[in-house]
Amino acid sequence: MKLRVLLSMIWLGFGSLASAEVGPAPHNLSPRQVMEAVVQANENMDYEGMSRLMAHDDDIVNYTIFGLNYVGWEKLERDLKKEFATVERLEIPILELKLWVHEEKGYAWFSMEIDYIRYMGKGAKEIKDIMPLRETGLLEKRNGEWILVSWHESKRKRFKTLKSR
């Protein structure tokens, strides 16, 4: 089944992480910059980049399309790596991103519209999936750094699959 992260995911080179590297890395990014960086890391299929900006809590819940949900980090990690191994490349333009930030309370939430565009195969066999997605979610400030802790993803309209060439 296809994974849509911000995030889809959405969501984003990968490799195995040593336990010392798991979880958010220090940065000085605003909530907007975190969301833009997560989407860019996803587009670049940069698993480690995504991992550094996302919570790894055992009880975090995230929802994505096709009825998929992720409780904790392990299943999400597995599916991110599987997605990146399946596609040739990704394009994830952010069409709209709105944020509401409560700095003093240490949380922010967002709504975002993206097109998650997957390219599979090469040349005459290239397939292009266009998935118009709508995402909402929560960021939390932990130890002075903003990280993505939860999101919900849904379709904006019907998906399209196009054969290139």
pLDDT in tens, 60-73: 999 988 888 999 99
Q: How far is CA 143 from CA 32, 33, 74, in A?
A: 18, 17, 23
pLDDT tens figures, 1-58: 333 333 333 333 222 222 333 455 567 899 999 999 999 999 999 999 999 999 999 9
**β 145-155/69-71 pair status:** unpaired
What pLDDT does 35 receive?
Answer: 97
Residues 135, 124: Cα–Cα separation, whole Å? 33
Q: Is it the case that residue 165 has pLDDT exceeding 80?
A: no
pLDDT tens figures, 75-112: 889 999 999 999 999 999 999 999 999 999 999 999 99
What pLDDT does 149 receive?
Answer: 96
Do residues 140 and 32 lie in contact, with contact meaning Cβ atoms separated by under 8 Å? no
At 132, which helix (H) or strand (E)?
strand 127-142
The average pLDDT across 115-142 equals 94
Enumerate the H helices of the chain as residue ranges: 6-10, 31-43, 47-52, 74-86
Beta bridge partners of 151: 137
CATH top-level class of 5-163: alpha beta
Residues 56, 114: Cα–Cα separation, whole Å? 24
* Domain segments of the chain as ranges: 5-163
Q: Is it the case that residue 126 has pLDDT exceeding 60?
A: yes
